[in-house]
Amino acid sequence: GGGADGGGCGSIGMVVDGQHRLGAAHVLSSKGKLRPDLARVLVEVYQPMGEREVRELFTEINKAEPVTLVDLPQDQGGAGEEEAAIITQAAEALRAQFPAMFKPSTSCRAPHLNVDALRNELHKAALLQRRDISSSAELVAWLLQTNESLAARPDEGWRGAGPRPRYSDAVLDKARREGFFLGLGLEWLHADGRTDK
């Protein structure tokens, strides 16, 4: 066994995150099989609250987005301070130029993008290193040039072959109307300079 840090002995609280880890540790402990390295379990404990507050808390937790690779420390695969600044400034500039094409959800559908998902993908593709980009202005220029190249692709190239089109007419119509094509897949991030593949 063991007590919880931070609360008075005998105080009542609710475990909001970590309840499954805590339950597993309790079962192992009751069987005498809890290893010492597993005796401390990280959980979030809240004072008792009303039903409305509980619903609000769970809504807030469920809306939370996971930390993306770009935002992790550099020694864990994240971007360095300079790279993060360049990528963030460029992604924000793109969002300011095409506000209707950016959505708050990281799982938004084409032809939209999410600014944090874009930042993460730019980092994962090592775009600054591969293209020798050293400023946010250079990155924005490259993104806009790539967008223009993608805009030149005929609709048939976006639909793809087969009975089910890759992108519907409505998706392509919105991309053409807004002049924004970077949200139609991310293959352009990994291309060798050609966007007509």
- Each residue's pLDDT, cut to its tens digit, for the chain (197 residues) gives 344 444 445 556 666 666 677 778 788 888 988 888 777 766 677 788 888 988 888 777 767 667 777 877 878 888 889 999 999 999 999 999 999 999 998 889 999 999 999 999 999 999 999 999 999 999 999 999 999 999 999 988 888 766 777 899 999 999 999 999 999 999 999 886 544 43
Reduce the DSSP state of residue 96 to 3 states and report it.
Answer: helix
**Has this prediction a pTM greater than 0.75?**
no
Cα 68 from Cα 116, distance rounded (Å): 8
- C-alpha distance from residue 82 to each of 3, 87, 135, 172 (Å): 43, 9, 9, 35
What per-residue confidence (pLDDT) applies to 26?
80
